[in-house]
Structure 1
Amino acid sequence: MVNIWIEAEIWPKGSWDCNDDNTDVIVVFPDRSKWIASFFTYQNIETLRQKNIQTGECMNGSYFWYSDMILIDVISRERIEQLIDHLIKLDHLQSVFNRYHDVVAEEDDNYPVCFFNTEEPLR
C-alpha cells in the first residue's frame, strides 16, 4: 500500500490537461519514506520546447532538463498509479524517484488512519 499525492489534483478545475502538462507526484510508503518525481507528458515537452524557442530559454529550445523527470504518455491518476505499481514490482521506484525527508508524526493527519506501519520496514 502506498499513498500517492498528485499536485495537479489541487489545481483549479479545468486547468489540468492530461495530454499536455506536467505535475509533481509524491509517493509515501507505510515505513514513512517519501519519494518525489516530476511527471511530464511527451506532448508537454514539445509545448515547452516551442515556448522556449519563442522566449530564448534553454538556448532557444535546443535542450530541456528537469530534476527527477519522468516522461509519460498521459498524466492521469490511473496512469500514474499504473506506472508506480510497475516501478514497485520491478524494484525501480527508488532509482526513478528522488528520496525526500521522511514523514514525521506531526504529519500523520494528512494520511489515512493506521497507514503507517511502525513495526516493519518497507524492504
Structure 2
Amino acid sequence: MKEKSYTMWIEAENWADGEWDIYDDNTDVIVTFDDGSRWVASFFTYKNIQTLTEKNRRTGECLYGKYYWGSDMLLVDECSRNRIEEVIRHLINEGDFENIFDRCEESN
C-alpha cells in the first residue's frame, strides 16, 4: 500500500517545557492528509491511565476511579513524537486508521 502523505499536530508539543512526560501523559493528535481531511485521536500512555485512576480515586471522579473513558482513546507505551508517528504509519498501512481516528468536522 502506498503511504499517504500527511502532517501531524501534537497538542503536547505546545505545552511549556517540562510539562510533557512521554511515559505518563496524554495528548490529542490531529492528522491532516493532503486531501485536506483532518482526523483526531487522543493518545494515552498505559501509565497515564493508572495515574488518572489513582487521581480519580482521591477526587471522586469517574465513580472514585471505578472507570475511565476517553473519546477516540488510543493506548501506547510512550507518547513521544516518534512513537505516535510509528503508530499512525502502522494504522494507515494496516487499513485501521479510519476505525481508530475520528474525522474532524469541516469548518467553513
* TM-score (ref. length: structure 2): 0.93
Alignment partner, residue 89 of structure 1? 93
1:69 maps to which of 58, 66, 73: 73
1:17 maps to which of 5, 15, 21: 21
1:54-65 aligned at under 5 Å gives the runs: 54-65=58-69
> Cα offset for 1:103?
7.1
Q: Distance in 1 between matches of 2:106 and 2:82?
A: 25
Q: Distance in 1 between matches of 2:37 and 2:98?
A: 10
Runs of 5+ consecutive residues of structure 1 not aligned to the other structure: 105-123
Q: Distance in 2 between matches of 1:92 and 1:81?
A: 14
Alignment partner, residue 50 of structure 2? 46
- Counterpart residue type for residue 55 of structure 1: T
Runs of 5+ consecutive residues of structure 2 not aligned to the other structure: none
Q: Distance in 2 between matches of 1:102 and 1:54?
A: 39
CA deviations on 1:57-95 (whole Å, 9 max, x unpaired) are 101100000110000000000000000000000111100
1:34·1:103 contact (CA, 8 Å) conserved in 2?
no
Q: Distance in 1 between matches of 2:80 and 2:106?
A: 25
Taking only aligned residues, the RMSD between alpha carbons, in angstroms, comes to 1.1
